Amino acid sequence: MEPAVLGGKLASSLVAPLVKKLFVTGGPGAGLVDRPVRLTRLVSFRGEQPHLGEAEVGRLAGRLVGASLDSPGEPPFPPDETEAVTHALTARLLALGDLDMDDVQAVRLGHRELAAQLRRRTPSATGGLSADACHFLDSVTEWACLHILEFFTRRSTFVARTLVAQTRGQAELIAKVDELIARTPRPDARDTAFERRYLPYVADQHNRITIYGIDLRDSPDRWPLEVAYLSLEATGTEERAALPGEPPEPERTVHLSADEALRGDDRVLLRGDAGSGKTTLVQWLAVTAARDGDRVPYVLPLRTLVRAGALPAPAAFLTAVGCPLTPPEGWAERVLSAGRGLVLVDGLDEIPAADRHRARDWLLALIRAFPGNRWLLTSRPTAVRPDWLAAEGFRELALTPMRRDDVTTFVRRWHAAADAPEYEAKLLDALRTKRDLARLATNPLMCGLICALHRERRGYLPTGRKELYDAALTMLLARRDRERGMEAVDLGEEAQLELLQRLAYALVLSGRTEMDVETAEGIVERALPSVASAAGQGDAATVLRALVLRSGLLRRPGEGTLDFVHRTFQDYLGARYAVEEGHLDVIAGHAGDTQWEDVIRMAVAHARPGERAMLLRRLLAEDTPRLTLLALACLEHATALDPAVRAQVEARAGALIPPGTTEDAKALAEAGPLVLELLPGPEGLTDAEAHGVTVTASLLAGREPSGALAVLRRFRDHPALRVRRQLVGTWERFDAREYAVEVLDHLDRTDLFLSCTTVEQRATLADMRPWSLLDLRGPGSVSAAIGYVGEPDVVEELHVADDPELTDLAELTVFGSLRRLQLVSCLSARGLAGLSALPLSELAISDMADLSGLRELDSLRFLSLTQELPGGQLTDALPLAAPFEFLFLGLTAIDSTGLGGLSHWQSLKYLSLGPKLSLGADDWAEIAQLPLLTCLYLNATLFSDGLGPLPVLPGVGELRLAALNGEEDVSVLPSRLPGVRTVVLQTAPGARFDTTPYAALFPDAEVSVDER
């Protein structure tokens, strides 16, 4: 608490008399002596005849501390620290006798600086105290110092006469502060007190989830999140910048633990299929943040917020989600303004499409108003377009389907929680051997249902998605009330299904996943006359209440609202009712709405053969890739179908298979694992088609690893570098050793890097034929790889990234044939001179703290640098004897040196100048003195000043312009580079523009475009 706030507990009438006792009584007069009276002579516990001993000072301190504890309101620190705080305050008050200043100097210092001096003289006083106690001690010290200075101004006649105005103002200020603080406690204190209640509430509120099926018998219906939570994986894409002169790197898929999604990015859009664990992840993040205390979490389900109409401002966050705690006024805004918030917005796909743009505007307004916080938005994959929030800095991640190891972990945890170990081994065997069953176990929801069905049926499991849902519904609807005193309403399974599917269909039609209880009661009331077994069980409210309690499919997420425990059941039952009622036109009419995809699939499963044929023809009639693939996905559920219709669907899908582009491959993968059975082998495919097939199979590896591996294995002898790169890039989706044996060890290694990012991958190096090109990423990657590489002399090129454990570059000399080396973000690496023993000809460095020793690498022909070089010119930092042919300098590389001394390397043929460089006349003069320079790379950022005094460079025959947006003025280049015969235009990512003006500028050159 601040001194002013402390004043609310310690009034001036109490402090002033205590402070007065610390000093000797002054005599009359103005105090105009020939030498000032120091504080050491003024305190009453020093001098030849002290009037006050240390024990008395301790008692004075005790009175100050005791008065604070005895006053109304929250104690400023735990009472059991009273004695320790009193001792610490005594030490600080005694330190007044050590200050070598007079009273006038003390007044000039002010009470805060005087208190700071006392703190610095007693550093050990706070040892062992809690944070609250230390805060109180600092505050009471400042409060005492404020009164000490007031005492000085009253004591000295001289000071009173010369500083009368200051004295009156200070006394008036103290009185006003006393009065103000007595009325208004400090907001921070209220905020802290509230958060001490709110964070445990959040942790407890979200720390329990339902494990489907466990609560069928005499077991709890909710389990601790720690028991049930399974950390799934999320994937995203990452662009890898190529070194100058190299072909562009392909888009790279990165993998990370889903619960670490917000550690590297403050804004994340997380996509995941129904049942994939999005909401559970939101709960986990909220609980973790609440327990750690580093962020204040807000869990905001959009389906609940949208029902209220206007989306809430921060002040209404807690009210909107039914939190019973009332925060201090302005608390939420203060949290977000300080950048301490973790805002978890769940279920974008669970609100109508018309509301999604409104939700985006609301979210972006919050982000702009409160920067510095962390934001997570969850959605089904197809609810919004891929770049829906990209412009606002959101990184898109996707929850991947569960791998075999994830399924195994889930099954074991489920059976441990359910106390049913006797069924665990049997189910795991079934999941490994029954392909159809394994295909269904792709997310926590379905895994939970399979586990529950397996236990409930004593080891029997159905096959097929519809049969599984039918069995799951029978299982869930068979449960009975366990709570005593509940009104008994006997609803049979069919009666429950009839009512549930009507509720589900109403939600499907509205595009929502939540409805008012009043609306639900109205639907039940209209249905009761036709549901004989339910008609005599009571009114609609009674029957609905029983349905919620007994069905296991409905829940009450908030007061006055109702929804299904999962969207999957809503879609399944809604489709069942639509088919029964003959609403096939309605279903087909919504085929363009991504929220209806599962409804359509389940409608095909429920429909009769003729109805299925009609639905599939309607899908094909739209003639769009997505609906064609949806029709293809529906075939999985069509047990009986006109062969002509099936053939038509497969033929139309054949136009999409094989996919010709990466985008086509991604769209194709959306149809699900069924696609794997239709993907062709490499025979007769173009390189682009072969690449598309491997991309599709890679994307489906998590859902059907055995089928995906079977497809990818066919391409292991393919010669195309793009295909081979894809095969290497998908390694992380499979068991490291199995994939290495089945695919990687068979690949042609020409120009192909093997990228190792995990411990398991590095360990497999010992079991494969040697690789000459290695890409090692992550902590400890170099030291681990050295231990596993059987023939280190085979390695000719090595890329190392993000390895903080690489400290001594001399470790790399084990690779005796190393010719090319790239180091990225290896901040601890030292000792470039140690590489001089290697036949190193190419070196690229980015983000390495120490460049000392670079001058000793005389064998280099290629050098790429992006960080500031030491010295006043290039000859101070680069190896003088190196026969450089290629040099790339980017970002801050020449901030200190400029291009001074560049002409020393007369062997330079290729010069690449990266972004953010500033070139003057002297720099261009150095370039002009390079006799062999034939290729010049220029970044678009250099054109902002017209390239300055660019001289005529007749020897340059090849010009590469990088990161172009199409608006740069390059008109000066033709006259300054008259010998150019090749021009390559590298666009900025996503930029597309007319290249005709460039071709006109260089009529004698071949102009090509490299689109990024």
| CB burial string 796-826: b at 16+ within 10 A, e below | ebbbbbbbeebbebeebeebeebbbbbbbeb
Q: What are the beta bridge partners of residue 962? A: 939
CA distances from 527 to 496, 530, 543 (A): 11, 6, 11
pLDDT digits (tens, 9 = 90+) for 551-596: 767 877 777 888 887 778 899 999 999 999 999 999 989 888 877 8
Evaluate if residue 261 carries a pLDDT over 80.
no
Residue 704, SS3 per DSSP: coil
Please report, rounded to a whole number, the percentage of residues in the chain having pLDDT higher than 70: 80
Q: What's the pLDDT at 382?
A: 62
In this structure, the chain runs to a length of 1012
In one-letter notation, the amino acid at residue 70 is: D
Residue 4: pLDDT band (50, 70, 90) is very low
Residue 24: pLDDT band (50, 70, 90) is low
Q: Which residue has the higher pLDDT, 513 or 36?
A: 513
Residue 643: pLDDT band (50, 70, 90) is very high
Q: What's the pLDDT at 613?
A: 94
Evaluate if residue 957 carries a pLDDT over 90.
yes
pLDDT digits (tens, 9 = 90+) for 793-810: 999 999 999 988 898 898
Q: How far apart are CA 1001 and CA 1005, in angstroms?
A: 9
Residue 176: pLDDT band (50, 70, 90) is low
Residue 165: pLDDT band (50, 70, 90) is very low
- Centre a 10 Å sphere on the Cβ of residue 974 and count the other Cβ atoms it contains: 17
Q: How far apart are CA 608 and CA 617, in angstroms?
A: 14
Evaluate if residue 72 carries a pLDDT over 80.
no
**Closest by CA position to 798, among listed 764, 758, 845:** 845
> Mean pLDDT, to the nearest integer, of 214-228?
51
Evaluate if residue 846 carries a pLDDT over 50.
yes
Q: What's the pLDDT at 433?
A: 56
Q: What's the pLDDT at 861?
A: 96
Q: What's the pLDDT at 925?
A: 92
Please report, rounded to a whole number, the percentage of residues in the chain having pLDDT higher than 90: 30
Q: What's the pLDDT at 981?
A: 94
Q: What's the pLDDT at 679?
A: 82
**Lowest model confidence (mean pLDDT) among 519-533, 638-652, 897-911:** 519-533
State the sign of the Cα–Cα–Cα–Cα dihedral 515, 517, 519, 522.
positive
Average pLDDT, the chain: 81
pLDDT digits (tens, 9 = 90+) for 311-322: 999 999 999 988
Q: How far apart are CA 697 and CA 436, in angstroms?
A: 18
Q: How far apart are CA 23 and CA 464, in angstroms?
A: 90
Which alpha helices (H) appear in 442-492, and where do they start and end?
444-456, 465-477
> What are phi and psi for residue 957, nearest 5 degrees?
-105, -20
